[in-house]
Structure 1
Amino acid sequence: MSFAAPPRRAGWIDRPDARIRYEMTGQGPAIVFAHGLGGCLFSWWQQVAHFAPRYTCVAFSHRGFFPSTAPAGGPDPAQYAGDVAALVDELGLGEIRMVCQSMGGWSGVEYALLRPGRVKALVLAATTGSLDPRQMREPEHSRLATWSKESAEARSALLTGNILPAAGARMAEEQPALHHLYTHINGLSQGFDREAVRAKLHAARTRPPESFAAAQTPVLFVPSEEDVVIPPFAPAGMAPMIPGAKVAPLPKAGHSGHFEHAAQFNALVEAFFAEVGA
């Protein structure tokens, strides 16, 4: 048999107050994948399998998320960018591309601003990271209050129906096995208050969209059309404020579109990388 799977290794990055688990698969230019509040490094299995033949895919678990550790007070998103920097430095990755979903967007935005010009391409999937939707332009800004009320009601209804809002009704109905796997991955991370982390994320979402120009990083927003966690229209209200930013919506997808419609998501990311020479 002549086929050989991409090389893979796993390890730990030791931080002063946490240990960060990572897996590195493939070879070539580096992509760092940053997962959301409902995930861990396993969340990117469909992306790693797709990109590893041509890229070095580095998936990691944020501090506190399985199997990474966190201090007794739980994960603090203020430390995420520093953790990414330590990962990049210890692994000798140099310039990277980042693919971030939901909570991972805080890591991506803040790391790109921490090291301007060092992120060759940034993908923000179902997230604006620490960029504040309340500061987006009209007419999208005027939709925010209504969406916030309706999405809160939708999340409550989903939970009543034993469906994770971060997965969504469509995934649960049309791809029940995938929703089952998503639920298992979500359940791996225990021992801290997830809502407290969510509150810290929201409190840190204060940056004006135009401030991201300082990162000197091409950015692609990939909003999910049926998202009830992050307003899917926010990228359209932000992109005109960020030089060169692009928006490529993922139709008929819930909050975790990368997981639900991986082939379409991967194609969007691949096209973006090709366009910006990453």
Structure 2
Amino acid sequence: MTFTAPPRRAGWIERPDARIRYEMTGEGPAIVFAHGLGGNLMSWWQQVAHFATRYTCVAFSHRGFFPSTAPEAGPDPAAYAADLAALVDELGLGDIRIVCQSMGGWTGVEYALLRPGRVKALVLGATTGSLDPRQMREPERSRLEPWKQESAAARAGLLARNINPAAGARMAEEQPALHHLYNHIYGLTQGFDREAVRGRLDAQRRRAPEGFAAAQCSVLFVPSEEDIVLPPFAGAAMASVIPGAKVVPLPRAGHSGHFERAAEFNAIVDAFFAEVGA
């Protein structure tokens, strides 16, 4: 039997102050992939290859992230959800599934709240998005400040060893080629201060976890066990106060678990979609 690859096309969405690049691969119900601060649409290569035989996979680069453009002041995460809404509307995707990692969680959470009931399933990988860990219940809330101090020291230690903290020590040591590729993708985005964007993300992380019930969508938290960028215990704490939310940790993985442990991550997402009928 001759193999035929899933159909693929790419294009741009024109926004008033930015151009958003997207790639659409496969056919079927739509999954949109929202990358993190260290990535772009290429970050999802292992997910697109897995899901495109059954779904329409739409990977895009947030404004300012290669090759998308942004205003001169740099990308503002406050515009991310509206950018995604424009993408969904222009491509005629209708109700969607969203798979997010890190920064992409802000996009996913805010879009789901912008359009209640229009997201079939939301996956938050190594992120809680704009849901605020400082508003977690105890005892997790008391763990936050000690974890921040420990993670800051751990990130500094990795940088001193030329290891990208968003990839993590295990990826660099056990899968050096993958770590090398991660850094290539990371380096494609230039021209603005990533730390300034990180500060804007933090300023917009003000939503109480309980408030996410208004999105009327199924949500799965997939925290990475060895994450030193965002607190891995926050997802479980939030899932306990969001009706119907689930949490499935990804073991032996750093912050970019979707990249480092793609097969395991994909299986978790597959199972979640099957469970919620997405």
TM-score norm. by structure 1 comes to: 0.99
Instruction: Find the counterpart in structure 1 of residue 17 from structure 2.
Output: 17
Give yes or no for the alignment of 1:95 onto 2:89.
no
Q: Shift of the alpha carbon at 1:236?
A: 1.3
Residues 158 and 165 in structure 1, CA contact (< 8 A), matched pair in contact too: yes
Per the alignment, in what secondary structure is the counterpart of residue 13 of structure 2? strand
> 1:101-120 counterparts in 2 under 5 A?
101-120=101-120
Map 1:152-191; keep pairs closer than 5 Å.
152-191=152-191
Distance in 2 between residues matched to 1:160 and 1:86, nearest whole Å: 41
What is the distance in 2 between the residues matched to 1:92 and 1:210? Answer: 31
Q: Distance in 1 between matches of 2:226 and 2:257?
A: 9
Distance in 2 of aligned mates of 1:139 and 1:93: 41
1:15 deviation in Å? 0.1
Q: State the partner residue of 1:196.
A: 196
Q: Which runs of structure 1 show a deviation greater than 4 angstroms over 4 or more consecutive aligned residues? A: none
How far off is 1:139 after superposition?
1.4
- Determine helix, strand or coil for the equivalent of 2:75: coil
The separation in 2 between residues aligned to 1:146 and 1:199, in whole angstroms, is 20
Q: Structure 2: how far apart are the matches of 1:138 and 1:257?
A: 26
- Give the Cα–Cα distance (whole angstroms) in 2 for the partners of residues 98 and 210 of structure 1: 20
Other-structure match for 2:222: 222
Q: Which residue number corresponds to residue 32 of structure 2? A: 32
Kindly indicate whether the alpha-carbon contact (under 8 Å) linking 1:112 and 1:119 is maintained by their aligned counterparts in 2.
Answer: yes
Give the Cα–Cα distance (whole angstroms) in 1 for the partners of residues 132 and 182 of structure 2: 28
How big is the shift at 1:142?
1.3
Aligned residue runs from structure 1 range 43-54, under 5 A = 43-54=43-54
Distance 1:219 1:182 in 2: 27
What whole-Å deviation, never above 9, does each CA across 1:55-107 have from its counterpart, x for those lacking one?
A: 00000000000000000000000000000000000000000000000000000
Q: CA-to-partner distance for each residue in 1:192-225, whole Å, 9 max, x for gaps? A: 1110000000110000000000000100000000
What amino acid does structure 2 have at the position aligned with 1:99? V
Correspondence list, 1:63-102, <5 A = 63-102=63-102
SS in 2 for 1:237: helix
2:269 is matched with: 269
- Secondary structure of the corresponding residue to residue 265 of structure 1: helix
Deviation at 1:36, TM superposition (A): 0.1
CA contact 1:102–1:125 (8 Å) conserved in 2? yes
What is residue 147 of structure 1 aligned with on the other side?
147
Q: Distance in 2 between matches of 1:169 and 1:34?
A: 24
Tell me, yes or no, if the aligned pair for 1:84 and 1:111 is still in contact at 8 Å: yes
Amino acid at match of 1:91: L
Task: Tell me how far apart the structure 1 counterparts of residues 18 and 144 of structure 2 sit (CA, whole Å).
Answer: 36
The within-5 A match list for 1:217-256 is: 217-256=217-256
Corresponding residue for 1:137? Answer: 137
Gapped regions of structure 1 (runs ≥ 5): none
Partner of 2:128: 128
Q: Distance in 1 between matches of 2:157 and 2:240?
A: 34
Q: What SS does structure 1 have at the residue aligned with 2:240?
A: helix
Tell me whether 28-37 or 134-143 shows the greater mean CA deviation: 134-143
- Contact kept, 8 Å, 1:140 with 1:236, in 2: the verdict is no
For residues 262 and 3 of structure 2, the distance between their equivalents in structure 1, rounded to whole angstroms, comes to 24
Shift of 1:2: 1.6
1:82-135: CA deviation from partner (whole Å, max 9, x where unpaired) = 000000000000000000000000000000000000000000000000000001
Superposition RMSD in Å: 0.5
**% identity of equivalent residues:** 82
The one-letter code of the counterpart of 2:272 is: F
Shift of 1:153: 0.2
CA distance in 1, matches of 2:164, 2:214: 36
CA distance in 1, matches of 2:136, 2:236: 9
Q: Is the 8 A contact 1:104 1:129 kept in 2?
A: yes
Whole-Å Cα distance in 1 between the matches of residues 70 and 234 of structure 2? 31
Deviation at 1:138, TM superposition (A): 1.5
Deviations 1:146-203 (A, max 9, x none): 1000000000001111011100000000000000000000000000111000000011
2: CA distance between counterparts of 1:215 and 1:156?
37
